[in-house]
Each structure stands twice: as structure tokens, then as C-alpha cells.
Structure 1
Amino acid sequence: MNVRRSTAVLAAVTVVLGVAVPAVAATPSPTPTVAIPDGLYGTADPTYDGVWRQSLALLAQHTAGVAPADAAVTWLAGQQCANGAFAAFRADTAKACDAKLMVDTNSTAAAVQALAALGGHGAATEKAVGWLRSVQNADGGWGYTPGGASDANSTSVVAGALAATGQQPSQVKKAGKSSYDALVRLSIPCDDDAQGGAFAYQPDKKGALAANADATAAGVLGVLGKGFVTKAGKAPKDGPVCGDSSEPLTPLELARNGSRYLASSVGDAGYLKSVLPGAEDQPDYGNTADAVVALAAQGWTAQAKKPLAWLERHSAAWAEQSGPAAYAQLIFAARSMGADPRHFGGADLVARLNATGPAPQSTTTAAGADAGDDAKADADAGKKDESDSALGVWWVVGVFLVAGVGIGFLVSGRGRKRRQP
């Protein structure tokens, strides 16, 4: 599973043909409304995406063999509440979390993935996973907030957190159902020619499902039990097809079907298109990066080559504008395909990510890290990110509906998310 933006805003959700679409309610100011804490990556208002973007940044650094700054890791760990949960951002961590603070599954699951990878935070991740398990829904999935209806993005990012801590997502159950069961309910049968194989974010009020590329990329990773960071899997023998050969479908079959939808949606253009109203032909960089990761995890590296190459040619300006989570998404995409993020379309993504926050302890390849060779930093890498554009990466995690109120939170990420411009 972003995101993955800047000054996040609450946006009213408009349901169009069953797809949750955020209304463009406000244009975020490039000037943060709160002070940027020491240790935090990015320069934009962290109110709605601080933990998310920090988690992705630290995880991407670790993936690239970079030892993050102690201050950056300490900031993330310090955001945790006593019950194990994380909110999107806590300005005053000296104040105990109370019922007024909105904690959420996405921030918590992203933090778990980052802290588990970095090591040395076993007690914190165990407590966070305990909280996640306590708010699992009876259908086996998770909503953005405790008690909220399950959605594909939240369910998948939590599945990734469970896997990161050595648990089998399919074995973590509530009322006998797991994340797999929840994702099965959100998958669209292959007999739907236009949407077959895709995952919906959530059913609409009538129970109908509408394909969502962001949710599909997340869903593929969720059913495979993968997190944000993954290597290329082994391609299924039956190739890029969508099929409903068995009931219920196996996780591999669900992932295959979702991957087929993503490959078809990328098409000849090589990228996914934005779903924002009035921007049908606008590329969605964040979702395209997530699609590369999902396709690679499924083993369809041949189908992932075109969108990866497109990102190498076209993503530089988007990443610079959108900030640390965007650089992290690109690093995850490169890593999933065995590409070197230090030589990505002529840019050193790792150096550029490092430049958006406190200087890391080291930038050499760490022992045991799966990273590209340490390379010369980009000449432009020292330029500090000044604008984590909200619309740049906000769709990566997806639009999260708070149960019963019809309000969506654009959270950085996958999306997760993230998991968009």
C-alpha cells in the first residue's frame, strides 16, 4: 500500500457510480498550520499524514540500505498512544491520548511496518498489532477508524503489518473470518467485462462494487500477505487472465485477477489515470507506482516493465512536489522490480528522499539490506522539499470513509494506501 501529500484536508465524499470520490473542497496552503517537528520528513502540514509519510520514508531508507537519523525514528516511535494505536499526527506527545484523538488503522499499520523493519521496537509493534487485532471487524477486515466499515485499502495495509511482524494474515480472525474473507467480498467477478478482477474500495449503499485501481493494487498485496516492500514473485502458470474457476477463489487466484485488471488499466499509455473529476486523462503517479509493486509481487514483471519505465521518464517533478512518501513509493516500485533506486530515470531517489528530512546516520548499503549499489548523489538532491502537494499523492492510500458520517479522509499513503494526483 499514501499516502502522501502535504496539508491534508477533510473532504466531503461524493459517491459517483458507486465510487468514493473526494470533493475538491479546498486548496491546501503551502505554509504549514503547525510547526514541523524536529525529526519529521517533509515540510508540509503533518496534521493528516505525519505518521504515514514518516513510516514510508523510514521504510524506504531501510530498503535502500540507509540507516535513518535517530531523531526520525524517535519521532515516529513517540507518536504511539499507550494503547498501541497511532493517530495521523500528535503535536503534543506529552499529552496522553484521549477519546477525542482519532487514531486509525492506516497510520498504525504503516508505523508497524516501518518499526518492524528497523528492528529494536518489538514491544511497540507488539502493542500496535494487539490494538489492530482488537479493532478487527466481524467480516475479517478493517476500516480506517475503529468500528468503520471494512475497506480494501485499510484491510490490506493491516495485513502487511501482520506479515511484517511474522504473523499469517489469513490466520488472524474475528468471528472466524480473516482479511482474505473481507477482500473476497470486495473483489469483482471476472464476468464483468469492464471491471472483472478488480477490487472495490467499499460497496456502495446498495451493495454494488465499483472497480478502484488504488484499492486493487492494495488488494493484490493484501491477499498475498505482502507489505509495502516486496520482491517479484513467481508468475502464475496460467498467465495474465481473469478467472472464476473455483469458489471461493484462492488468494493466488484473487491476486491474479486483480493484477490482470491493473495490467489492462495501465494499457498502452503505461500509466493509470486519475479518477479526480475533470481530470480523466491526468496520470496518477502514486497509483501507477503501487500498481508496479502489485504486479511484481504477483510475478507479472513483464506487465510491470512499461509502467516502471513510464515512471522513470515522468515522475521526477511529481515526486519533488509531493515529498517523502512519493519518493518512498518510487523506491518501493524500483525495488520490487530489481531496479536501482539510486539510478532511476537519471535521479538518485534515495538521496532526494534523504534531503527531505534529518540527515541519516549513514547512506552506505547496510548489511543484509536489499538495496542497489551506493552511488553518487544527484546534484539536485540537496534541494529541500517545500511542498508535499496534497493532491499529488493523496489518492495513494485511497479515500477512507468514517462510518456513518460520509466523510473521507485523504491520508497520505498507499493512498497506501496510498494507497494520488
Structure 2
Amino acid sequence: MFLRRSITAVTAATAICAVTAPVASAAGSAPRASGTSLAGPANPAAAPGTSISVTSRSAASDAAASGKKTPKALYGKADPKYDGVWRQSMALLALDAAGAEPARAAVDWLTSQQCDDGSFTAYRAEPGAACDEKTPGDTNATGAAVQALAAVGSQDATVRKALAWLRSVQNKDGGWSYNPGGPSDANSVSVVVGALSAAGKAPEKVTKDGKSPYDALTSLQLGCDAKAAERGAFAYQPDKDGKLAANDDATAAAVLAGTGSGLLPERKPDRPVEPLKCGKGDGGKPLARDEAADAGAAHLTSVLEKNGDHLLAVTPGAKGTPDYANTADAVIALAAAGHRAEARKPLNWLAEKLDSWDKAESDPAAVAGVMLAVHATGGDASTLKGTKLLDRLVATGPEPARMPDEKATGGMTKKEGGGSDVLRWSLLGAGLAAGVGVGFLISARRKRQGL
């Protein structure tokens, strides 16, 4: 989640990624990715602290204009050029959250997108071709893919290779940028922290020059020296003068990362929100990880309450309108931090307004983001107040090998790795059982015959 950028911005960023600040979202139909938003300036020329999440033209129209067909194993019908890996990862995570088992083809499609160096890029039209400067690996696609593949299981080699690449491009401040070599941003750090956590790694132990991801994150938080209404918020990145601007999307991403969780967070005991406490002399000293997450959650809660339980878009042309994807992100972050009571309010808002969101009908990343929000709060990810979210997601891609409460039909299994393995061991077990049964019969007959 937390990854959305406009098609125009992505094109510009790709051309100058080596010298500009990275974008914070994975474009196209849904990625902002968590539904997704991926905060931060999607356009290098945009004002710091803003997030670009509305495309200048739809990815679907791009696909129609090009005459290209999307791969059968990929979720969504829109052109995957800017968000293929992201939306596939989101779909697999949502299926797992709902208790469904993805089709083997859907998982294989995602693993086939990995570059030789272990990274993932937004989309590779020809997976067999080598990745180059035109298809550079990025931390967000890689982090999302790791979270998804760790969830479905049996992809250890792919996950290890991706994690090694992420370690290799970690910044000296302990964080990551969207494009390797750029300054760290809150959203990219969050996606990578989620990947590390999903793979069973302790994010705080993944360091560079003695700095952890949390050192990078807390350096982006506005503290007691900021305006009262902005305290606890996170910036996407510092501006060119080193100043921090509060960003709701970056705050949601940072809060989730501060819990040490990814998009499938463990459920924690519910607890109240605690705003940042400031006294005389408090200033620019970074908070500890847990304190930073709590302060961010308190700020996020205050913004949601002010806006009527949802976040607002800051995109040019859409400024002041509801930001559904970022609202779903906020739900996940608050729930992961143990603030489920506060998280349910924006989730209820989403339930009431879902029909007003055009992407919520058939955009896989958007639908998946809402499903993950439901899951994070302890609900059944397949539905939200009567809306059958799982059915909507399934309609956009390959039919799962198993729906919740159904018998597996030959997809991916987390331990055995496939239906053939399950069948093989089942037959072996049946053979052994039959052999034991025959042994008992022979033994009983011999006893009756006095042998």
C-alpha cells in the first residue's frame, strides 16, 4: 500500500531517477498501492509533503490504446506497466487475509517478475529478458512482492534473493528510497520494514553504518518544536531546505512501520491513543520507535476526526476530496498499533462510501487495500458490511485454487508447495495405511488358524 504515482510523473521520474527524489507510489490503476497511496511527491517538481495519486489518464485507456492484452495470470485488466507487481502482490496478500489459496499461475507470474539481482520492478513485459536501466529494480515493488510471497509460502529462495538486494541498497541513514541512491522516504522505509517482518527478520537489526530503518523514520517525524496540530506527524522526505512537512500518507506508512508490521499485521490488545506529550525544553530529539508510532497514530486519529473519519486528497484537481486509499492505509496502521477502536471509525466510513469510489468495483489493488483494512481490524476480509470484497477481487484475475472453507484444487500450499506434493504424500499415506490393515488381517487369520 502506500505506493501510488501518476503515469506522467512515473515517466518523468524514470528518466531522472538517479538525480531526483524518488516517487512514493506505484502508479496506474491502483497503486498508490494499498489501495495504495504511497505518499510523497510523485512528481519531482511537486511541493514536498504532497502526494500524487490521481493519474492523468487511466491505465485502462493506455491498454486499450496500445491494443495489448494483460497477462492471464495477472489481476486487473488495466495496463500493468506501472503497477503490475504491486497490484499482484496486493491481490495475493488480500487472498491470504481472506483465507483463500491463490492459483499457482498467479504466484508463478509474480516470481517470474524477479530480476537476476533479486529486485523487482513495476512490470517486466518480457520476464526472460535481462533487467536494465529501462527496467530498474525499485524498493517498493520488491518489498511488496516479498510480503506477498512470504504470505503464500514455498517461495523461500525468491524471498531470500529479494531481501539480499534490499540490504544491498539500504542508505547510510538506515532507510530506503524508491529508487536506490535517492534520499530515504517514509513510504519506502515502511514497505521494506514490512518485507523484513513478513520474512521473519527483525527490522531493527538490519542496519547500515550503525543506523536502523527506525533511525531513518524518526528523523522524518515532526516533534514538539512543530505546530501543535502537526506534532507526531511524519513527512515523506525533507524538502530541499531540510524542512519537514506533515503528510498523512507518510504518517500512516510510518506508524505501520513503527509497529514492526507489514500489510498483514498481528492483532494486538486494544489500547487508547496517547498524543505526543510536550513540555518545556522538549525539542528536536527523535523519539524511540514505539513512542514515535504512538505519536503518529495520535496525529492520524486527530486528522481523521477532523475530516469526518476519512483522509483528504492533496492531488491537484482533487484536493479536498476523499482519499479512499489513504483512508484504508490509516485503518491498517491504527489497527496494527493496537488502536482498533479508532481504526473502525474510518473503516465504517469506507463501508458507507465504498460505492462512491470508482476503483472499489474492479481495481484489484483498491479492493485488496480495503480487504486488508478489514482484516487488520479483526474482521472477515472477504466482506465489508454486505459488500462481497473477495468476489470482486476474484473477478479481476485467476480463480483461486481454494476459496475459504473449500477443498484445495491444486494451487500453492504453504508447506508442500503444490497440489502434486499433497497428492503424492496422500497416496503414500494411503498405501501405508492399506499395508498396515492387510498386516492385521493376516495376523488375525493366522491366530484363528492356530499358526
- TM-score class, shorter-chain normalisation, is 0.7 to 0.9
Name the counterpart of 1:374: none
Name the counterpart of 1:267: 305
Q: CA deviation at 1:23?
A: 9.5
Q: CA deviation at 1:102?
A: 1.6
State whether structure 2 residue 77 is matched by structure 1 residue 47. Answer: no
| Distance in 2 (alpha carbons) for counterparts of 1:211 and 1:23 | 17
Name the counterpart of 2:241: 206
Name the counterpart of 2:96: 62
Q: CA deviation at 1:317?
A: 4.5
Q: CA deviation at 1:5?
A: 8.8
Name the counterpart of 1:189: 223
State whether structure 2 residue 342 is matched by structure 1 residue 303. Answer: yes
Q: For 1:313-333, what per-residue CA distance to the aligned partner results, in whole angstroms no more than 9, with x for missing partners?
A: 112342435601111111111
Is the Cα contact below 8 Å between 1:141 and 1:155 reproduced in 2? yes
State whether structure 2 residue 63 is matched by structure 1 residue 28. Answer: no
Is the Cα contact below 8 Å between 1:198 and 1:258 reproduced in 2? yes
Name the counterpart of 2:375: 335
State whether structure 2 residue 388 is matched by structure 1 residue 348. Answer: yes
Is the Cα contact below 8 Å between 2:234 and 2:250 reproduced in 1? yes
Q: For 1:324-365, what per-residue CA distance to the aligned partner results, in whole angstroms no more than 9, with x for missing partners?
A: 111111111101111223331221111111111011111124
Aligned residues: 365
Q: CA deviation at 1:6?
A: 9.6
Give the 5 Å matches for 1:12-411.
12-16=43-47, 18-22=48-52, 26-28=56-58, 30-31=60-61, 32=63, 33=66, 34-191=68-225, 192-235=227-270, 239-243=273-277, 247-268=285-306, 269-318=308-357, 319-321=359-361, 323-365=363-405
Name the counterpart of 1:418: none
SS at match of 2:45: strand
Q: For 1:273-330, what per-residue CA distance to the aligned partner results, in whole angstroms no more than 9, with x for missing partners?
A: 1111243331000000010111111111221121010011112342435601111111
| Distance in 2 (alpha carbons) for counterparts of 1:61 and 1:117 | 10
Is the Cα contact below 8 Å between 1:2 and 1:53 reproduced in 2? no
Q: For 1:391-417, what per-residue CA distance to the aligned partner results, in whole angstroms no more than 9, with x for missing partners?
A: xxxxxxxxxxxxxxxxxxxxxxxxxxx
Residues 2 and 223 (structure 1), Cα distance of their counterparts in 2 relative to 1, 3 Å cut:
closer
Q: Which has the larger radius of gyration?
A: 2
Q: CA deviation at 1:103?
A: 1.1
| Distance in 2 (alpha carbons) for counterparts of 1:69 and 1:321 | 22
RMSD over equivalenced CA pairs, Å? 2.3
Letter in 1 for 2:338: G
| Distance in 1 (alpha carbons) for counterparts of 2:221 and 2:335 | 20
Is the Cα contact below 8 Å between 1:231 and 1:335 reproduced in 2? no
Is the Cα contact below 8 Å between 2:176 and 2:184 reproduced in 1? yes
Residues 199 and 36 (structure 1), Cα distance of their counterparts in 2 relative to 1, 3 Å cut:
same
Name the counterpart of 2:40: none
| Distance in 1 (alpha carbons) for counterparts of 2:97 and 2:172 | 34
Is the Cα contact below 8 Å between 2:4 and 2:52 reproduced in 1? no
TM-score, normalising length: structure 2: 0.76
SS at match of 2:229: coil
Residues 207 and 5 (structure 1), Cα distance of their counterparts in 2 relative to 1, 3 Å cut:
closer
Name the counterpart of 1:373: none
Q: Which has the higher helix share?
A: 2
SS at match of 1:287: helix
Residues 21 and 230 (structure 1), Cα distance of their counterparts in 2 relative to 1, 3 Å cut:
closer
Q: CA deviation at 1:252?
A: 1.1
Q: CA deviation at 1:366?
A: 7.7
SS at match of 2:311: coil
Give the 5 Å matches for 1:402-421.
none
| Distance in 2 (alpha carbons) for counterparts of 1:183 and 1:138 | 13
Letter in 2 for 1:214: D
Please list every run of 5 or more consecutive structure 2 residues that lacks an aligned counterpart in the other structure.
13-42, 408-451
- Between 199-208 and 28-37, the greater mean CA deviation after superposition: 28-37
Residues 285 and 322 (structure 1), Cα distance of their counterparts in 2 relative to 1, 3 Å cut:
farther
Residues 198 and 47 (structure 1), Cα distance of their counterparts in 2 relative to 1, 3 Å cut:
same
- Between 333-342 and 348-357, the greater mean CA deviation after superposition: 333-342
| Distance in 1 (alpha carbons) for counterparts of 2:132 and 2:4 | 26
| Distance in 2 (alpha carbons) for counterparts of 1:79 and 1:223 | 29
| Distance in 2 (alpha carbons) for counterparts of 1:338 and 1:29 | 33
Residues 53 and 275 (structure 1), Cα distance of their counterparts in 2 relative to 1, 3 Å cut:
same
SS at match of 1:13: coil
Q: For 1:362-391, what per-residue CA distance to the aligned partner results, in whole angstroms no more than 9, with x for missing partners?
A: 112489xxxxxxxxxxxxxxxxxxxxxxxx
- Using the aligned pairs only, state the percent identity: 49
Please list every run of 5 or more consecutive structure 1 residues that lacks an aligned counterpart in the other structure.
368-421
